[in-house]
């Protein structure tokens, strides 16, 4: 995940606990802000990252704090690239019920993958289904607006 344009790169090997993932999430979001990503971009990444970490803790590792979560992140001038892998047996993301239809509308869960797909530009799962790879590309229109406003 590295190249000559790398701005920020970090890997984490986290215990499968919510507080550990929150710290990693905050560190990544602060790095994105420092490197010029705007609040709309950071919001989308934040939401997707929180959902992906929550899925890894609750569904992948089934709440077992002895299981680990591996996270890899790369921030370049063009994109924020994140992979999150849990120790679970995986799942088929295409087999999930659509939370926008029928009785699923009233369920308290089941919207995470939909939200991740809505806020990230690329969302891919490995064959096993225990690793999600997400990319958020920099908003080119936002960069143009910032450049015009700074002149």
User: Does residue 43 sit within a domain?
Assistant: yes
Point out the least confidently predicted range of 26-30, 40-44, 81-85, 95-99. Answer: 95-99
User: Does residue 86 sit within a domain?
Assistant: yes
Q: Which CATH number goes with the domain that contains 94?
A: 3.30.565.10
User: Does residue 1 sit within a domain?
Assistant: no
Question: Model's pTM, two decimal places?
Answer: 0.85
User: Does residue 129 sit within a domain?
Assistant: yes
Segments forming the whole domain that contains residue 118: 8-150
User: Does residue 44 sit within a domain?
Assistant: yes
pLDDT digit string, tens, across residues 41-82? 999 999 999 999 999 999 999 999 999 999 999 999 999 999
- Residue 2 reports pLDDT greater than 50: no
SS (H, E, C) 17-82: CHHHHHHHHHHHHHHHHHCCCCHHHHHHHHHHHHHHHHHHHHHHCCCCCCCEEEEEEEECCCEEEE
More confident call, 38 vs 97:
38
User: Does residue 3 sit within a domain?
Assistant: no
């Amino acid at each position: 995940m590295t190249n000559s344009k790398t701005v920020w790169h970090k890997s984490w090997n986290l215990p499968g606990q919510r507080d550990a993932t929150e710290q990693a999430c905050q560190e990544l979001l602060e790095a994105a802000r420092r490197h010029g990503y705007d609040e709309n971009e950071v919001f989308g990444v934040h939401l997707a990252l929180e959902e992906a970490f929550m899925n890894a803790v609750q569904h992948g590792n089934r709440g077992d704090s002895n299981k680990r979560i591996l996270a890899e992140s790369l921030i370049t001038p063009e994109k924020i690239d994140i992979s999150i892998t849990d120790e679970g047996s995986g799942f088929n993301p295409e087999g999930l019920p659509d939370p926008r239809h029928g009785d699923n509308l009233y369920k308290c869960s089941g919207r995470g993958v939909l939200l991740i797909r809505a806020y990230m530009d690329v969302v891919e799962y490995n064959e096993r289904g225990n690793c999600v790879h997400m990319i958020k590309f920099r908003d080119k229109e936002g960069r143009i607006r910032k450049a015009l406003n700074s002149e």
